[in-house]
Amino acid sequence: MKGAILLGVILLVASVVGAKWALEHNASPAPGDKTATDTSMPPPEYVVCWGHFDVEAGVANLYPQQMGEIVQLAVENTQVKQGAVLLQVDDKMAQLKLQQAQNAARASELQYNEAKLLNQQYPLQREQQQAAVNSVDHEIKKVQLEKEKQEQSYKEQQALLKTIKEMYTESLAQLAEKKKAEQAKLKQIELLDAPLKVAQAETEWTAKKNMVKEAENALSYYKVLAPSDGLVLRVYVHKGETIGPSPKSPAIDFLPEGPIIVRAEVLQEWGRFVKQGQKVEIEDDTYNGTKWYGTVKTISNWYSPTRSPVVEPFRYNDVRTLECLITVEEGGTKKFIGQRVRARIKI
């Protein structure tokens, strides 16, 4: 009996020791074990990721910068050229402000041209006015000489001499007033400072031209222009509708012209296997139909949350992804912007 008990104890101890040894030498690495590595594991043949058809520039969400009533609107699914008006908000008040600025600029330009003309005439005017002053001085000297001559001639005739003196004195007084007036005009011309007036007029004209540019720029806020050649995808507003501030959605979705690509997102788990130049097989994600073929063009430099989180079957929105752009070869059925696809990247 004692021998059987001893044998049982020995077997139990041996089982425990053997199990411990097996766990230490044969157990798989635990998840998250930093000492574990999968570098020795061969890479997969394909990496499958989800994406959608797009253009490299992406769909542009457009909205006017000024609120107001819509008076002109593009039609959906319309091909347009760069600069075409896609949406026009009523801009009557802005047009009036532009006209006012243009009129003010024209008036300032006239003042500037007048000041330049005055500056050109300034030396001649000053010379002419100085000549007028000199002419009066000459008349004064002439009268004084004539007075002296008459005084000498009629020195003996005191009564007549008195009359002559009074006559010439009055004449000299009038000439003195004339000289004073001419000198005052000369002073006004000198005080005019024509070059300063030109500079002031030029500064004011420049300011008015800047006001015109500001009004023209403000006028552009009332319309949405096509940023490039492309397609009007969707219009969210209507003609006659009043657009307000802080919109919750764009007014127009615009597709710039360009080759269609696949904007795909690779889960972080498989991102390290994806390289530029790898061949890709593309198919619609909802049915097994025509396939397209392409090549990995660019790979993002960061792992980020998915660009367009959506609640769809088999789509993960709580994981980091590596975005890559895939060029698509010509051929196959028509490709629709936003069409969800599966991309099988050959590793």
Distances in whole angstroms, Cα of residue 194 to Cα of each of 205, 206, 314: 16, 18, 81
Tell me: do 205 and 226 sit in the same domain: no
Is the pLDDT reported for residue 239 higher than 60? yes
Give the pLDDT band (50/70/90) at residue 101. Answer: confident
User: Residue 10 domain-assigned?
Assistant: no
Q: Tell me the two tokens of residue 232.
A: 């009007």
pLDDT value at residue 318: 72
pLDDT value at residue 135: 74
DSSP E strand boundaries for the chain: 46-55, 60-62, 68-73, 79-80, 85-89, 223-225, 230-235, 242-243, 252-256, 260-267, 279-284, 291-305, 320-328, 340-346
Tell me: do 243 and 193 sit in the same domain: no
79: domain CATH number is: 2.40.50.100
Tell me: do 236 and 269 sit in the same domain: no
Tell me: do 154 and 264 sit in the same domain: no
What's the domain count of the chain?
Answer: 3
Tell me: do 153 and 168 sit in the same domain: yes
User: Residue 25 domain-assigned?
Assistant: no
Q: Which of 235, 253, 271 is the last residue of a domain?
A: 253
User: Residue 37 domain-assigned?
Assistant: no
Tell me: do 166 and 272 sit in the same domain: no
Give the Cα separation of 274 and 267 in Å (integer).
11
User: Residue 16 domain-assigned?
Assistant: no
Q: Give yes or no for a contact between 88 and 71, defined as CB atoms under 8 angstroms apart.
A: yes
User: Residue 23 domain-assigned?
Assistant: no
Range of the domain at 304: 46-57+258-346
The 3-state DSSP composition of the chain as helix, strand, coil percent (nearest 5) reads 45, 25, 30
Report, as an integer, the average pLDDT of 23-29. Answer: 41
Phi-psi region of 246 (alpha: psi -120 to 50; beta: other; left: phi over 0): left
Give the pLDDT band (50/70/90) at residue 68. Answer: confident
Q: How many helices (H) and strands (E) does the chain have?
A: 4, 14
pTM above 0.75, yes or no: no
Average pLDDT across the chain, whole number: 77
Tell me: do 98 and 213 sit in the same domain: yes
Q: Tell me the two tokens of residue 86.
A: 């896609």
